[in-house]
Amino acid sequence: MLSVCGFAANGAKKVLLVGIDGVQYEHILKLNTPAFDRLNITKAYTGGVAGNKSEQKTISGPGWTTILTGVWKNKHGVVSNTHGLANSQWPSIYRYLHDANRQFKLYGFSTWGPIHSQFFKNDMPFLSAHAEGGSDDDNLNRTLKVLYHDSPDFIFLHLDEPDAAGHSHGFGQAYDDSIIRSDNRLGMLLDAVAQREQVFAENWLVLVTTDHGRDFMGKGHGGQTKQEKTIFIASNKPLNKNYQSIITLPNKHFGGLYGLPAQTYIVPTILNYFGVMSDIHWRLDGLPLVGDIKVNRIYADIGGKKCGLEWDMSTGSPSTLGANEHVAKFDCDGNADPLFIKGNKIYANIFNSGCTLQWDADKGTPLTLEENEHVAKFDCTDFGDPLQINDQQITSYINDQLCGFQWDSDAGTPITLGRNEHVAKFDCEGSPDQLVIE
């Protein structure tokens, strides 16, 4: 037994992503669901961050697009169920995997058609086989056939019955039955995966999720309430917990939902599992749930105090910064915000949005900055600026000039900064300030 498990663990990595539409997390717990019981399950959230740029309706179009892109609607652009194509600047998992390995055999079977016929229509040529519409059993059988007879690397299966039952009947027997039938289907899928692991020594990651919760009666959904925002992520692998230590969201709303992983975590989890998560994927709005997350922190000694590089929670404090931007600062309370230094960029996850360190092209925005100085910021939409990063300093070219990353000696320049805080900047005359990168 041990040797079989050990062997399988080293086998080729494969992923099955099962999406079950409109399942209220609490109903999985309440009902007898033996297939879900075979998995690790965590509560999670959708709908972006209420009141933030990432807020999106808790409906299927934005939800499935987030599940398959790893970003919220301010990036993927899908705001409704009839939106048409998602923003191709933020690719789907199909495209990411196709680009990572042209030999990958990808499959997608979706009872709810618009996922394939609208949002990711242009990705269909990457799939070895796909289907839209039909019944859940049609698409279950397509998936089982692939698992038993083909050599898939990635399969996405969308099942719809619970959402349809909820819309027709609200919570009650019909809704509960639809979840039990979904659990039954999940059991058949897990058996097929287990058989492949035995026969072919493959190593499968199974992820199960939903696009949104339901309103109080169970009939509708779309709003920003705790139970519409509550979803789940289930997996046959242990889900790492340390993402919780790097969450940067004030977590007082919706009963602490923002302390949980979000719908945006699915794509980074799959990319990381396949070992194809490259530097640029840290721009995504989620973090991987399998594998360790390694965090960096940057400190400077300012007047004998240990000051950490942080972002300002209030976006766009200096007037030139936009709604997607957060001013960068050194805070001398001894803490530093978690960062990811990847290649020549510095990434941060702010309000569960992937952001990158940049300079502002407008010089000297806050009053105390001079002509040759540019305020540093974290931008949550655009690409980060390329930086030269070594153990002790950061520099960057701005208009062909080499500029050093520094702090401003005047504390609290932009209005939102406190007395103990210094705005971060790139100075194109002086040398970069000495840093400690941990």
Given the rule CB under 5 A, which residues bind Zn ion?
A: 22, 163
Q: Count Cβ atoms below 10 Å from residue 390 Cβ, excluding itself.
A: 10
Distance CA 433, CA 368 (A): 18
CA atoms within 13 A on the CB side of 404: 13
Rg (alpha carbons) of the chain, rounded to whole number: 23
Residue 378 is given by DSSP the state: E
Residue with smaller CB distance to Zn ion, 213 or 268: 213
Residue with smaller CB distance to Zn ion, 161 or 325: 161
> To the nearest whole angstrom, how small is the minimum distance from the Cβ of residue 75 to Zn ion?
23
Distance CA 28, CA 294 (A): 33
Task: Give the CA distances from residue 45 to residues 75, 343, 361, in Å, rounded to whole numbers and listed in that order.
Answer: 18, 30, 36
Residues in Cβ contact with 30 at an 8 Å cutoff, skipping those fewer than 6 apart? none
Q: Angle at Cα 231 formed by Cα 227 and Cα 234, nearest 5°?
A: 150
Distance CA 224, CA 59 (A): 11
> To the nearest whole angstrom, how small is the minimum distance from the Cβ of residue 20 to Zn ion?
12
> To the nearest whole angstrom, how small is the minimum distance from the Cβ of residue 173 to Zn ion?
19
Minimal CB distance residue for Zn ion: 163
CA 210 to chain centre: 15
Residue with smaller CB distance to Zn ion, 152 or 218: 218
Residue with smaller CB distance to Zn ion, 142 or 221: 221
Residue with smaller CB distance to Zn ion, 167 or 305: 167
Specify the residue for token string 């992520």. Answer: 233
Helix (DSSP H) and strand (DSSP E) numbers for the chain: 11, 19
> To the nearest whole angstrom, how small is the minimum distance from the Cβ of residue 218 to Zn ion?
11
Residue with smaller CB distance to Zn ion, 132 or 163: 163
3-state per-residue secondary structure call for 257-321: HHHCCEHHHHHHHHHHHHCCCCHHHHHCCCCCCCCCCCCECEEEEECCEEEEEEEEEEECCCCCC
> To the nearest whole angstrom, how small is the minimum distance from the Cβ of residue 167 to Zn ion?
6
Residue with smaller CB distance to Zn ion, 153 or 163: 163
Residue with smaller CB distance to Zn ion, 22 or 338: 22
> To the nearest whole angstrom, how small is the minimum distance from the Cβ of residue 227 to Zn ion?
14
Tokens of 11: 């086998």
> To the nearest whole angstrom, how small is the minimum distance from the Cβ of residue 233 to Zn ion?
19
> To the nearest whole angstrom, how small is the minimum distance from the Cβ of residue 107 to Zn ion?
24
Residues comprising the chain, all counted = 438
